[in-house]
A = this chain, B = another copy of it.
Amino acid sequence: MDVISENRCFGGVQGVYSHASDVTGCKMTFGAFLPAEAADGPVPVIWYLSGLTCTHANAMEKAGAQGWAAEQGVALIFPDTSPRGPGVADDEAYDLGQGAGFYVNATEAPWASHFRMWDYVADELPALVGRELAIDLERQAITGHSMGGHGALTLAMAHPGRFASVSAFAPIANPVASDWGRKQLGAYLGADEAAWGRHDASVQMLERGFDGPVLIDQGGSDQFLDLLRPEALSQAMAARRQEGVFRMQKGYDHSYFFVSSFMEDHVNFHAEALWA
């Protein structure tokens, strides 16, 4: 693991690291915030998965999470959103290929050789940060924004017992029924829609739910409401009798000004579950 940068931040350290990934077959970069308490031993962690077009840097610089994480004594990990590099397949569209991994393991050409973000975020990166940083893998929580909210919810439900809590900011909530989903799941997983359901938060919520509390924030003036389909997730949460809260936030859009406005609530929500 190579150190790209380390900056003191709210009494802790905001680092950026890179490593050769066996899973994605390329060099991967991620951000990690460790609070001051990490100097004395492993601390709980909140994963933050980012949205379309983002790298590890967007949330690290704009979401305003470090101050709240420092107050709670928890770490933050900011993975990238896809494999990258000249040898990695890409597409001209902003919503497919590099920057748009959708947190799946691609099975179709030309994506299958590198686009394995599900395994990367679920297995390889946790093992790495558990080994290299003062992170306690027995206490994990997960959140994300937009495509990253989709990733957080689907990963959390697929790994019962791993995450104490899950939250999302304006998640892509029902990709099997949205142009933010059908295009990408078709490209990465193929035309057989039977393989798509495990990557749809609303489908998974109905089928199995999450074994802990859930917090969803959605901007009421989000310019992508038709693509996000929050109503599918809200309906599924209620139908499942899922422990959790779904909040429609009047006037907020899809930007980091929305995310940062509610970051305190999300970090505190996860900290309560992590320290329980």
Contact = CB atoms under 8 A, between A and B. Distances in A.
Interface of A: 7-11, 14, 61-62, 64, 66-67, 219, 221, 251-253, 255-258, 260-261, 264
Number of copies of chain A assembled together:
2
Contact of A256 (B61, B219, B253, B258): B61
Given A9-B258, A66-B257, 10 more contacts: A8-B221, A8-B251, A8-B252, A8-B253, A8-B261, A11-B261, A61-B61, A64-B67, A66-B260, A67-B260
The 9 closest A-B pairs by CB, nearest first: A9-B257, A7-B257, A8-B251, A64-B64, A8-B252, A10-B261, A14-B257, A7-B255, A61-B62
Contacts of A221: 8
Nearest to A250: B8
Q: Is the interface of A mostly helix, strand, loop or mixed?
A: mixed
Nearest to A62: B61
20 contacts: A7-B252, A7-B258, A8-B221, A8-B251, A8-B252, A8-B253, A8-B257, A8-B258, A8-B261, A9-B257, A9-B258, A9-B261, A10-B261, A11-B261, A14-B257, A61-B61, A61-B256, A62-B62, A66-B261, A67-B260
A18 to B, nearest CB: 18
A64 B260 CA distance: 8
Contacts of A62: 61-62
A138 B273 CA distance: 46
A257 B61 CA distance: 8
B61 A219 contact: no
